[in-house]
Amino acid sequence: MRLAMSLSFLALFGVALVAGCKNDNAPIVGGNGVVPVTVDDKGFSPSSVKFRKGGPATLVFTRTTDDTCAKEVVFPGLNIKKELPKGKPVSIEIPTDKEQTLAFQCGMGMYKSSVVIAAN
């Protein structure tokens, strides 16, 4: 019984420790390079995405609410501005020819996020 309680405590402590050590570096996306991005009243989720240099990279934005100013997405560095109709996926291909960080935001600039293109 005591052993079970000790193991439970250690497991909870480990979860708390990992949660407290937040890693802001998103893992590099592999596979087909398609990442869904939810757009809601809190902004964009995930807020940061990493793609491998030279690999495929597409973000698929889906707005889920009318209670947000994020009714469009803007990539200032790419001169891209796209409307985000509620409930309809909008795909944007991201160039991965060089290492860089590309910002994207809502039309008003209140919600900001990023795409990182990295060598590994």
Query: Residue 104: which CATH number?
Result: 2.60.40.420
Task: Label residue 32 by pLDDT band (50, 70, 90).
Answer: confident
Q: What sign does the CA torsion over 83, 84, 86, 92 have? A: positive
Residue at 15 is within a domain: no
Residue at 5 is within a domain: no
Residue at 29 is within a domain: yes
Range of the domain at 82: 25-118
**Rounded alpha-carbon distances, angstroms, from residue 21 to 24, 28, 49, 120:** 9, 19, 19, 22
Tell me, letter by letter, the H, E, C secondary structure of 43-65.
EEECCEEEEECCCCCEEEEEECC
Residue at 52 is within a domain: yes
Report the pLDDT value the prediction gives residue 120, as an integer from 0 to 100: 74
Residue at 10 is within a domain: no
Report the pLDDT value the prediction gives residue 30, as an integer from 0 to 100: 61
If one counts the domains in the chain, the total is 1
Residue at 13 is within a domain: no
Mean per-residue pLDDT of the chain: 82
Number of helices (H), then strands (E), belonging to the chain: the values are 1, 10
13 has which bridge partners? none
Residue at 6 is within a domain: no
Residue at 109 is within a domain: yes
Report the pLDDT value the prediction gives residue 106, as an integer from 0 to 100: 95
ω into residue 46 within 30 of 0, thus cis? yes
> Tens digit of pLDDT for each residue in 59-82?
999 999 999 999 999 999 999 999
